[in-house]
Amino acid sequence: EVQLVESGGGLVQPGGSLRLSCAASGFTFSNYDMHWVRLAPGKGLEWVSGIGITADSYYSGSVKGRFTVSRDNAKDSLYLELNSLRGGDTAVYYCARSTYCSRGSCDTRAFEVWGQGTVVTVSS
């Protein structure tokens, strides 16, 4: 079964840090672009960060310079390091799978597979 499972959320004070993890199973993790998407209370979905199969990473303007995405293909895992956290970062954070790449070519895909989410609360 194709599955993504997030962990690492919790309550953190403003200015604090947190590391989120996403464990993948049921597919060849190293062949896919991966993303973090968040849903803040009362708001809509927001794409946060993406990482390609060669570990090229990209961020939304609201988190650039504060968040760092990484992947460990040996562990089939995706990570998001959250630093300098603010109240506006309070949200459910989801990992998601998209584009498939193999043998030098890529099939651009939508976000087909999602985890169940992990909750990050930034509050004093």
Partner 1 sequence: EIVLTQSPGTLSLSPGERATLSCRASQSVSSNQLAWYQQKPGQAPRLLIFGASSRATDIPDRFSGSGSGTDFTLTISRLEPEDFAVYYCQQYVSSPPGGTFGGGTKLEIK
Which residues here bind partner 1, judged by CB under 8 A?
33-35, 37, 39, 44-47, 50-52, 56, 58, 94, 96, 98-99, 106, 108-112, 114-117
Q: How does DSSP classify residue 26?
A: S
Smallest gap, in angstroms, from Cβ of residue 16 to partner 1?
A: 26
Nearer to partner 1, 13 or 64 (CB): 64
Nearer to partner 1, 56 or 124 (CB): 56
Token digits of residue 72 = 């460990």
Q: How does DSSP classify residue 110?
A: -
Nearer to partner 1, 34 or 122 (CB): 34
**Residue 90: partners with Cβ closer than 8 Å, 6 or more residues away:** 40, 41, 120, 121, 122, 123
